[in-house]
Structure 1
Amino acid sequence: MAQGPINYEIPNEMRDFAEKSVEQAKKAFDGFLGAANKAVSTAENQATTVQSTGKDIATKAIGYAEQNVGAAFELAQKLVRAKDVQEVMQHQSEFMKAQIAALQSQLQDLGATMQSTVQKAATEAQANFQKATADAQATVQKAAEGMKRK
């Protein structure tokens, strides 16, 4: 007795369930991609912020260098006009005191700017990481709820 191929039909309910499962998986994957894209975008924004702050620090440093060189030229003019060694020593002493004070102030300002930048970047990074984690968890939760409903 030759038997023909057995014809198994897949019930409509099973096909519907499989189709919905694929749709839910695609939605979950799209959600993960969205969260990943947000995280990359956020990281790019942080890099831009840090780069901008780096420019500000460099601009300050150049400004300080200009001030210091200007003070040195001013000293040179005073030394050229000095009438005796005592006046030369007085100008040199005043210059050194002024430059030490200026350098301390400049270093404090740069240090404060750098500290502020690092704190701001760390705070932003932590907030962005927490948001990305929350977004990923929400996506997983939605996918899990979608699977439970079936």
Structure 2
Amino acid sequence: MALITLIYVSSAVRSVSYSDIQDILRQSREANGKKGITGLLLFQDGNFMQVLEGNAEFVDELHQKISNDPRHGGIITLFREPILTRSFSDWKMGFKDIGDLTEDEKAGRSDYLELPLNDALYISNPNEAFILLQAFRNTVR
């Protein structure tokens, strides 16, 4: 079974409530668990960044489903690469709203927390997106 990691960014086409995000997380955790997909979803001011890991066929199928979801717009795939081991193996779908970080949580971190998740930096250098996701790997709920 070939494992891949896929990272994309997108923007919500309408305002997203806490309840909307909880519904997305509940559904994705249930579906991802059945297909062995792991990952992390970051949210900030109406923008998403998500990493998905798992069997290439299942991850690509999920990415296509997300791409067709009318709640998303401006979807940009940052990268899709084979991996030997998962970086987010503990999460069927972890989540962090980085727009809600306190000043204490931001202290000592780089200025990248001030960038929108769909910033040109992440598009031109997808490794920066991976670094951002990794920074929250152990602080998600």
State the TM bucket, normalised to the shorter chain: under 0.3
- Higher Cα Rg: structure 1 or 2? 1
Larger RCO, structures 1/2 (Cα 8 Å, 6+ apart): 1
Task: Select the structure that is richer in helix.
Answer: 1
Task: Select the structure that is richer in strand.
Answer: 2
Task: Give the TM-score of the pair, scaled to structure 1.
Answer: 0.20
